[in-house]
Structure 1
């Protein structure tokens, strides 16, 4: 059995694709997960023993946090503004989070359904600080699929 090529498994960069628009400067992605409810079925067996069975329930919606260095690109702000003013028809979008390898080739895509921005946070502003300013976008979604 051949060993997997783990060199390509290192996620060097990340991107967000929303309605065909790609933002490739994402430096961190956190909270990306697929989850569903668990239903407990309590019953007695034929011989009278009490058992609890766990069954899969409904999928849960999720949230993912995207962090990037502050740039002139205002796509995050425009998207947040639509959601903030209740324009949910234009704020809810389909898209994907893409993991790229060191050569820029997509390794994996996490497709998000009905995603919209929950919040946008700008990093701390400190005079004389030499760290990079960041912006964190929290995106909520109804469903995630791995492509």
Structure 2
């Protein structure tokens, strides 16, 4: 089979960038899938011999996990700590819900420079907040792996913009 060479190849997922409140988050190496599901509501009508019908009900959105190589960048840590501040001072933790953009580029797009080509697709996560933060990876003196920290985000919906 011939290799895929199209610049609009839908299976290439390595050219992306993540923005948090307009600033590019450096070193994000992996973003989990965006998903949503709609729960069915059962509706029963009197005299209907065929049984209940189903209508769309409550919408739920999957958590999004961002992984970043272990670095000196403390953006995720500060954001996670801001959410923790809700327990200490519920009135003092303002702005812990943030807007997150995930931008996808074609093979020729330069995601690393602001003057590069525009993204092919851009997704906006509405009012995201940190639900899980892994600050330090598992340490293993026998391994040669790269340290990865991760942050899981709950959000109130996403859209393609």
Q: Would you call these one fold, judging by a TM-score over 0.5?
A: yes
Structure 1 counterpart of 2:53: 53
Quote the Cα distance in structure 2 between the aligned partners of 1:43 and 1:28.
Answer: 48
After the TM superposition, which of the residue ranges 69-78 and 57-66 deviates more from structure 2? 57-66
Residue 97 (1) aligns with residue 108 (2): no
Give the TM-score of the pair, scaled to structure 2: 0.76
Which residue does the alignment assign to 1:11? 13
How many residues matched? 141
**Aligned partner (choices 35, 39, 42) of residue 40 of structure 1:** 42
Task: Map 1:73-84 to 2 at 5 A.
Answer: 73-84=73-84
1:114 aligns with 2:127: yes
Q: Name stretches of at least 5 consecutive residues in structure 2 with no aligned partner.
A: 87-91, 111-116
Is the contact made by 2:35 and 2:61 (CA closer than 8 Å) also made in structure 1? Answer: no
Unaligned runs of 5+ in 1: none
Given the two structures, how large is their TM-score scaled by the length of structure 1?
Answer: 0.82
Structure 1 stretches of 4+ with a deviation exceeding 4 A read none
Distance 1:123 1:100, change over 3 A: farther
SS in 2 for 1:71: coil
Name the structure where strand makes up a greater proportion of residues.
Answer: 1
Partners of 2:45 and 2:105 lie apart in 1 by 48
CA separation in 2, counterparts of 1:6 and 1:140?
A: 34
Query: 1-side partners of 2:131 and 2:85: how far apart?
Result: 12
Give the Cα–Cα distance (whole angstroms) in 2 for the partners of residues 101 and 23 of structure 1. 19
**Is 1:124 aligned to residue 138 of structure 2?**
yes
